[in-house]
Chains A and B, each alone.
Chain A
Amino acid sequence: DAGVTQSPTHLIKTRGQQVTLRCSPKSGHDTVSWYQQALGQGPQFIFQYYEEEERQRGNFPDRFSGHQFPNYSSELNVNALLLGDSALYLCASSLSPRAEAFFGQGTRLTVV
């Protein structure tokens, strides 16, 4: 059984560009959450998707948006990239919004 998979593993973007990160949840999981982990810091909650809707959102600007597809996979989009958006982006899936979260290996985004 594949766990949570994220793609790509690494990418480099230029300031002002847009980026899309992808997440496939663990089999049977219908809830996906996204976290941003800056270097040397703990992860910070971006938002959570359940039933194809954004259910909760952390303290992130509207440049950060997402989507959940009928197969429960999810995308995180970041527009107008800033140098400060450089971080590890973690996806976590769960059986429901209140269940234990399982994490993927993350996407390392570098903005230059």
Chain B
Amino acid sequence: AQTVTQSQPEMSVQEAETVTLSCTYDTSESDYYLFWYKQPPSRQMILVIRQEAYKQQNATENRFSVNFQKAAKSFSLKISDSQLGDAAMYFCAYRGIQGAQKLVFGQGTRLTINP
């Protein structure tokens, strides 16, 4: 079974600085998707960025980018120029290509932005 691990329960960063959230996963599949979701106090899960495992190029969405290391099964999220609105819980998630289409989530990292 696939597992996702986020080893940082909490992180904090000064406004306008850069922060990196870590995620590792375990799978025997060769092709899959990886995601970072943001969950603000409103509770709604919002997709931040996604990465297809067959793509070697790291995904980027404006201030958000990932460092995808397939051999190491590592998938970190970098947030540049942090803003107060970035404060939220961040979840790393895995979804396979074959068989089950469910999302497997990590335990989450609470990100605090200090003004």
Contacts and interface: CB of A to CB of B under 8 A. Distances in A.
B36 interface: no
A10 to B, nearest CB: 11
B104 A88 contact: no
B91 interface: yes
A105 B102 contact: no
B108 A106 contact: no
A42 B105 contact: yes
B107 interface: yes
Query: Interface extent on B, as a size class?
Result: 20 to 34
Given A41-B107, A42-B91, A42-B107, A103 B101 contact: no
A1 to B, nearest CB: 15
B87 to A, nearest CB: 17
Contacts of B45: 43, 90, 92, 103
Query: Interface extent on A, as a size class?
Result: 20 to 34
Contact of A45 (B47, B91, B103, B107): B103
A56 B37 CA distance: 22
A73 to B, nearest CB: 18
Nearest to B97: A98
A86 interface: no
Contacts of A104: 44
A101 B103 contact: yes
A97 B93 CA distance: 16
B43 A45 contact: no
Given A42-B91, A105-B42, A48 B107 contact: no
A97 B107 contact: no
A56 B101 CA distance: 8
